Amino acid sequence: MDSVAPGPDPLRRRKATTVLVIVSVVVLLLAAGAVFALSRTSNPAAGDCVVTSGGPTTPMAVRKIDCGAPEATYRVSPAPCPEGDYLAADDLCLSLDVVPGDCLKPVDYQGVSAFHTWPCDQGEVRRVTRAVDVADRAACDGGAAHVYAAPPRTVCLDR
């Protein structure tokens, strides 16, 4: 007598399909939540640090970054831009957030001049010689100065 192997249990197959659908929905909801949370926290606000990107033929883009990151170059100031040498980008007012000894490479984004922090021994750079919490060009003794009213800050560059 030949024995016939039993076929798959329809109830077991239905349960497995249901579990698979539920797990897939949960994973999709978690992924959507993560994307939403990241997009909300990536919008820079006053006090956040940012880095610029783009190039001579592309518009400047601004990305929020940890203030302790070496490439963090600018800090977002409250809008509208107060008096000073702010870099206006994406409806944001950006002031240099650097310390003496940092080196900055000038970059151009479709006619908009900005800086990137850069290794001092690579290429043509400007060195930060002084950074003080006052808005006063005289703090740079006649040298290149970037002055910001709010919060008050003056950044001096060589040459």
C-alpha 92/C-alpha 124 separation (Å) is 27
Coil, strand, or helix at residue 48? coil
The pTM score is 0.70
The DSSP code for 69 is S
C-alpha 55/C-alpha 110 separation (Å) is 7
Could you tell me if 36 and 29 are in contact, meaning their C-beta atoms sit under 8 angstroms apart? no
Per-residue pLDDT of the chain (159 residues; tens, 9 = 90+): 555 556 666 677 777 777 676 766 666 555 544 444 444 346 899 999 999 988 778 888 899 999 999 899 999 998 888 889 999 887 899 999 999 999 999 998 888 889 999 999 998 999 999 999 999 999 999 889 999 998 899 999 997
Coil, strand, or helix at residue 55? strand
